[in-house]
Chains A and B, each alone.
Chain A
Amino acid sequence: MTALARTWDHLTLPGKALFILIPLLALLTTGLIVVIALFGKQILDILIFNLPIVRFVFAATVLLLLAPPIAFVIIYMEMKIIALMNLRIGPDRVGPWGTLLSTIHGLKVLMKEDFTPTRADPVVFTWAPVVVFATMALSVLVIPFAPGLFAQDFNLALLYFFAIGGLTVVGLLMGGWASFNKYSLLGGLRSAAQIVSYEIPLTLSVVGLVILAGTMSLNHIVQQQGVYVDATGSHGSGWFLDWYVFRQPLAFLIFAIAATAEANRTPFDLTEADSEIVAGFATEYSGMRFGFFFFAEYIGVFIISALTTVLFLGGWNAPFPFPRISWLVDPGSLGIGLLFVVALVPLLGTLLLAAPFYLFRSQTRWWVALIIGFVLFNVVAGGLFGLWAYINFDWVAGLFWFLGKTFTLVFVFVWMRGTLPRVRIDQLMGFAWKWLLPASLLNLFVTALGVLVADALRGGPA
Chain B
Amino acid sequence: MTTPTPTASEHRSTDDPRITLDEGVGVFEPIPPYPPRTEREAEFYTLGDGEMFINMGPQHPSTHGVLRVVLKLDGEKVVDLDPVLGYLHRGVEKLCENADYHQTISQVDPLEYISSLFCEWAPVTAYEKLLDVEVPRRAEYIRVLSGELNRISSHALFMGWFALDLGGLTPILWSFIERDEIVEMLAALTGQRMLFNYFRIGGVNGDLNHEFLSRLGDWMSRAVGQVEANTKLLNENEIFVRRASGLGVVDQETAIRLCMTGANLRATGIPFDLRRTHPYSIYPELEFDIPTRSEGDSLARYLLRMEEVKQSLRIIDQCLDKMPDGPIMAKLPRLLRPRPGRAWAAVEGPRGVYGAYAISDGTDQPFRLKIHDPSFIHLQAVGALLPGNLLADTMAIMASLDPVMGGVDK
Contact = CB atoms under 8 A, between A and B. Distances in A.
Interface of A: 82, 85-88, 115-120, 122, 182-183, 186, 190, 266-267, 269-270, 273-278, 417-427
B244 to A, nearest CB: 9
Contacts of A275: 61-62, 164-167, 395
Contact of B243 (A115, A419, A423): A423
B64 to A, nearest CB: 11
B225 interface: no
A417 B239 CA distance: 13
A120 B26 CA distance: 11
Interface centre among A190, A269, A421, A423 (most CB of B within 10 A): A421
Contacts of B168: 419-422
A190 B76 CA distance: 9
B61 A115 contact: no
Contacts of A182: 52-54
A424 B390 contact: yes
A425 B170 contact: no
Interface of B: 3, 13-15, 24-26, 28, 52-54, 60-62, 76, 163-170, 173-174, 177, 233-234, 237, 239-240, 242-243, 390-395
A86 B168 CA distance: 11
19 contacts: A82-B169, A115-B15, A117-B26, A120-B14, A267-B167, A273-B392, A275-B164, A276-B392, A276-B394, A417-B169, A418-B170, A421-B166, A421-B167, A422-B168, A422-B243, A423-B243, A424-B393, A425-B390, A425-B392
A270 B237 CA distance: 18
Nearest to B163: A421
A88 B28 CA distance: 42
A330 B243 CA distance: 65
A422 B54 CA distance: 21
B11 to A, nearest CB: 10
Contacts of A87: 173-174, 177
The 3 closest A-B pairs by CB, nearest first: A422-B167, A275-B62, A86-B173
Nearest to A269: B167
A440 to B, nearest CB: 21
B76 A421 contact: no
Contacts of A85: 170
A421 B54 contact: no
Contacts of A422: 166-168, 239, 243, 392
A87 B177 CA distance: 9
B248 to A, nearest CB: 13
Given A118-B25, A119-B28, A425-B392, A273 B167 contact: yes
Contacts of B15: 115-116
Contacts, number: 99
A122 B13 CA distance: 11
B14 A88 contact: no
B160 to A, nearest CB: 11
Contacts of A186: 54, 76, 391
B390 A421 contact: no
Contacts of B234: 421
A115 to B, nearest CB: 7
Contact of B242 (A117, A119, A427): A427
Given A118-B25, A278-B61, A425-B392, 17 more contacts: A86-B170, A86-B173, A116-B14, A117-B14, A118-B24, A119-B3, A182-B54, A186-B76, A190-B76, A266-B169, A275-B165, A276-B394, A419-B237, A420-B167, A421-B167, A421-B234, A421-B240
A276 B395 contact: yes
A421 B243 contact: yes
Contact of B76 (A115, A417, A425): A425
Nearest to B165: A275
Nearest to B71: A182
A118 B13 contact: yes
A274 B60 CA distance: 9
Contact of B237 (A278, A417, A418, A421): A421
Contacts of B169: 82, 86, 266, 417-418
A31 B28 CA distance: 55
Nearest to B247: A424
B173 A423 contact: no
A177 to B, nearest CB: 14
Given A186-B391, A276-B392, A267 B239 contact: yes
A424 B28 CA distance: 31
Nearest to B168: A421
Contacts of A270: 392
Given A119-B28, A120-B14, A274 B54 contact: no
Contacts of A120: 14
Nearest to A113: B15
